[in-house]
Amino acid sequence: MRIGIALDYSGGFHEAVDRIVELEKAGIDIAVVAEAYSFDAVSQLGYLAAKTTTVELASGVFPIYIRTPSLLAMTAAGLDFVSDGRFRLGIGTSGPQVMEGFHGVEFDAPIGRTREIVEICRKVWRRERVQYDGKYYQLPLPAERGTGLGKPLQLINHPVRERIPVTIAALGPKNVELTAEIAEGWQPVFYLPEKADAVWGEALAAGTSKRDPALGRLDVMVHASLAIGDNVEERLAWVKPQLALYIGGMGAKGRNFYHNLATRYGFGEVADKIQELYLSGRKSEAIDLVPDELVRGMSLIGPRGFVQERIAAFAASGVTTLLVSPAASDTDEARRFVEDVLQLRDA
């Protein structure tokens, strides 16, 4: 199992990069930069590429609606170039609240658009003259929709690789099935290993049955908060605000993917209460309702023996890359937590 670092949306980026430079020497495998309604991830990934030498870099994730397929391909090729072939393109839909609220773009056809984007990106990386007649994207743009002057073009530069790995963030069954079919990696959020097969097993199997063997094994990349020690139980509470935000506040009732996931995990009743409180402005009460059981199951927070058991549980469920976020009080403690999890992984 690979161990990586997931960088937060905001704050302390320079300090986080300094930490990654040190942890690169200790043996971390990958650093993932998120993008929400924060600084863009591209500039930060370019900065990371200049500061590191061996660690793989990934977007986690670029929302598909705010960049054209060709721009996604160009950006991935550029980041792969400046990192000497160390970049992985992570894409996902985000959600209606961010896409429509912050960017003012429609949130539509996530599955169809994702498939077409991946197909177009791979054409660009192969330096083909890009001609594509999809349901959602047409290159060149048809004359009836434009000037009629567009012509097929190919990427001017020669990419470092003609096949940059693609990771898709997916939660719904159809999107997970698509991911298992066409992508090199899958990044589910709020992953509970003991429930993963019941929630996603059928979709993964269906997608894998159509998968091109040339893609190799699906890299299952999941996130876990991290704190190792005999007296870190209180760190579970540090994780709850984010869970409450997503379960309760990332979307209206009936259109919240994270609430749906918590329900599928068996926490539907408490998820309903969290959402009701959060949407009514009672955020602190919503946070208090997030179950310790849910946080503990998705995290690596506890004594060394417990964390080692959880690493084994993640691996047994099919996880191949574990992205950790230290729930640490300072930089030294964060570094120690990551060094410890690397040791436990190798034990």
- Evaluated on CA atoms 331, 337, 341, 342, the torsion sign reads positive
Of 22, 142, 119, 127, nearest to 69 by C-alpha is 119
12 has a pLDDT exceeding 90? no
Query: Residue 324 corresponds to which tokens in the numbers above?
Result: 């950790």
What is d(CA 258, CA 275) in angstroms, rounded to the nearest whole number?
Answer: 10
**Residue 251: pLDDT band with limits 50, 70, 90:** confident
pTM of the model: 0.95
Cβ-proximal residues to 14 (8 Å cutoff; 6+ apart), any chain: none
Q: What percent of the chain has pLDDT over 90?
A: 89
Can you give the pLDDT at residue 15?
84
Angle (CA) 189 194 195, round 5°: 60
pLDDT 10s digits, 81-91? 999 999 999 99
Query: Residue 110 corresponds to which tokens in the numbers above?
Result: 């996530």
Can you give the pLDDT at residue 244?
97
* 3-class DSSP state of 52: coil
Can you give the pLDDT at residue 252?
84
11 has a pLDDT exceeding 70? no
Can you give the pLDDT at residue 179?
98
335 has a pLDDT exceeding 80? yes
What is d(CA 48, CA 238) in angstroms, rounded to the nearest whole number?
Answer: 27
Of 152, 135, 45, 63, nearest to 99 by C-alpha is 63
10 has a pLDDT exceeding 80? no
What's the mean per-residue pLDDT of the chain?
A: 95
Q: What percent of the chain has pLDDT over 70?
A: 99
- Residue entry with tokens 């959402």: 275
38 has a pLDDT exceeding 90? no
Q: What is the mean pLDDT of residues 281-288?
A: 97
Q: What is the mean pLDDT of residues 120-147?
A: 97
Residue 76: CA atoms inside 13 Å, Cβ hemisphere, count?
Answer: 33
9 has a pLDDT exceeding 90? no
pLDDT 10s digits, 43-89? 999 999 999 999 999 999 999 999 999 999 999 999 999 999 999 99
pLDDT 10s digits, 161-204? 999 999 999 999 999 999 999 999 999 999 999 999 999 999 99
Query: Residue 2 corresponds to which tokens in the numbers above?
Result: 């690979």
Alpha-carbon distance values, 140 to 105, 108, 137, 151, 344 (Å): 22, 22, 9, 6, 52
Can you give the pLDDT at residue 97?
83
Query: Residue 41 corresponds to which tokens in the numbers above?
Result: 């991830």
